[in-house]
Structure 1
Amino acid sequence: MTINQPTGADLWLPEPEDHDFPAAADYLDLIMGAERVERIIADLQRAPTQIKMAKDILRASGLPLLGADNVHVKHDIQKARDGKRLSPVLLVRGTPLIIADGYHRVCAAYHLTEDLVIPCRLVDR
């Protein structure tokens, strides 16, 4: 790890930010019905925050790693290096895993180090 590179402990807020839940609902609304979205969002709001590794989240989601030059990933990497904490990610268990909110943060964490732990809320689909 290089100097000024954040560790897992100092990178994350303890809880998701309030605006993360509506963002997750907007995304989920594209792939499932409104009743299911409402239930999943309520479950995510109540779920305990747990820790998962960046590389495992990416593998389970089947999503590609966005480049460090992606504008949103780059912003989150810089935010972390500036000592500003990132919001935990919101995940929905299934095959594949759905990153309901936080895809860019997962990619940023992976670029910092693939073994970086990420706090997340994880619920069943």
Structure 2
Amino acid sequence: MIAVRWKDVPEAHDYPAAADYLELLAGPKIVSAVVDDLRAAPIVHKKAKDILRAARLELLPPENLHVRRDLIKIHNGKALSPILLVRGDFRTGAPMVIADGYHRVCAIHWADENIAIPAKLAAMP
């Protein structure tokens, strides 16, 4: 198993990045509430393969520029930032959203799909 180092909390710039992406999916009031919930959420640990399945996203190739950068960070022992997730709803068919960290999830999957990734998880209001 590959050793992956993680930061204790997401980086400050991860939250505005998540908000920027979420603004493509919801209005400002909802995005603000979700980002506030992400900031307050505890860290949970989920496997890369399960995150991709729940989000219904394709695994990006290791040649992708951002995935490659994260794979290099892993190889060099640099700590990665936890990811930010918004819970889906299987009752309505809404997939989970990776608000920030899609490339990190893909890099971890390439390193070992069973590595538990620290994440903050919020629900849609």
Task: Work out the CA distance in 1 between the residues paired with 2:53 and 2:8.
Answer: 24
Q: Give the deviation of 1:11 after TM superposition.
A: 2.0
SS at match of 2:44: strand
- Aligned sequence identity (%): 51
Q: Which runs of 4+ in 1 moved over 4 A?
A: none
Q: Report matched runs for 1:8-47 at 5 Å.
A: 10-47=4-41
TM-score, normalised to structure 1, is 0.93
**Please, which runs of 5 or more residues in structure 2 have no aligned partner?**
89-93
Task: Work out the CA distance in 2 between the residues paired with 1:107 and 1:11.
Answer: 16
- The match for 2:97 is 98
- The match for 2:45 is 51
SS at match of 2:81: coil
Task: Work out the CA distance in 2 between the residues paired with 1:103 and 1:79.
Answer: 15
Task: Work out the CA distance in 1 between the residues paired with 2:58 and 2:6.
Answer: 22
Q: Give the deviation of 1:12 after TM superposition.
A: 1.1
**Please, which runs of 5 or more residues in structure 1 have no aligned partner?**
none
- The match for 2:67 is 73
TM-score, normalised to structure 2, is 0.93
Task: Work out the CA distance in 2 between the residues paired with 1:14 and 1:109.
Answer: 17
Residues paired across the two proteins, number: 119
2:55 to 61, 77, 82: 61
